[in-house]
Amino acid sequence: MSAAEYEVLSAWLSNKITAKARDKGPSQIVVYDTTDSDNDQLLKDDNRQPIPWEKEAESLRKKDSLLQQSTLDAYRKVNGQPAFLRRSLHPTVDYQLVNRAQLEPIFCYHCGSWPAYYKRFPGSQGLLTFSRVGFNTDGTQAFFYYSNMCDGLCGTGEYVIMEKHDGRWAIQQVIEMWVS
């Protein structure tokens, strides 16, 4: 992951997650240490057949006409392979990076699931997973996917479009893909 990707994700965290923390939200953020664009889950038609990326990109651009094709192309390219996150995010709330080995004993069959998770990570928002970030050609627009899994009906998965103005990243548009 590049420094620019960490900058975008940190700006999003500061805007989205840590704003909730100020309002008695999570006291810590738990982030999965491997990126995932979740395309295996998202890109299916009504018959559960894969939707070609070009059609998905067209649909996303219809939802936000300011989303640039170069941003989508870069997103698709960087998400060809998962990447490991380093401890380079800078949210205003403490965060932990967790890996598969830490989660397997919690979510294995008959292991306890979410109550065990929240015992291990008290005050967390659940489990946050990011994709890699795609940028337009001049680096002023960013696009990524995130999901947040949690106990009960509180999970979500969204694409986020961010724009850089005066050296700062701000959320331009959020495209909800699923909610539980």
> How many domains does one find in the chain?
1
Residues 113, 110: Cα–Cα separation, whole Å: 8
Please list the residues that pair with 96 across neighbouring strands.
Answer: 30
CA angle 121, 35, 16 (to 5 degrees): 60
End-to-end CA distance of the chain: 29
Q: Is there a domain that residue 119 lies in?
A: yes
CATH code of the domain covering residue 10: 3.10.450
Phi/psi region, residue 126 (left: phi>0; alpha: psi -120 to 50; beta: rest), is left
Q: Is there a domain that residue 60 lies in?
A: no
Would you state the pLDDT for residue 174?
94
Count of beta carbons in the 10 Å neighbourhood of residue 55: 12
Whether residue 22 has pLDDT greater than 60: no
Q: How far is CA 144 from the centre of its chain?
A: 7
CA angle 143, 149, 150 (to 5 degrees): 145
What pLDDT, in 10s, does the model give residues 48-77? 777 788 888 898 999 999 999 999 999 999
H-state helical runs in 16-52:
17-22, 39-42
Note down the domain range covering 123.
Answer: 3-39+67-179
Q: Is there a domain that residue 142 lies in?
A: yes
Q: Is there a domain that residue 56 lies in?
A: no
Q: Is there a domain that residue 53 lies in?
A: no
Would you state the pLDDT for residue 110?
77
| Span 22-46, average pLDDT | 75
Q: Is there a domain that residue 129 lies in?
A: yes
Would you state the pLDDT for residue 170?
95
Whether residue 83 has pLDDT greater than 60: yes
| Span 26-30, average pLDDT | 83
**Type of residue found at 11:** A
| CA-wise closest residue to 61 among 170, 164, 159 | 159
Would you state the pLDDT for residue 111?
78
What pLDDT, in 10s, does the model give residues 107-143? 887 777 899 999 999 988 899 999 999 999 999 999 9
Q: Is there a domain that residue 103 lies in?
A: yes
Its pTM surpasses 0.95: no
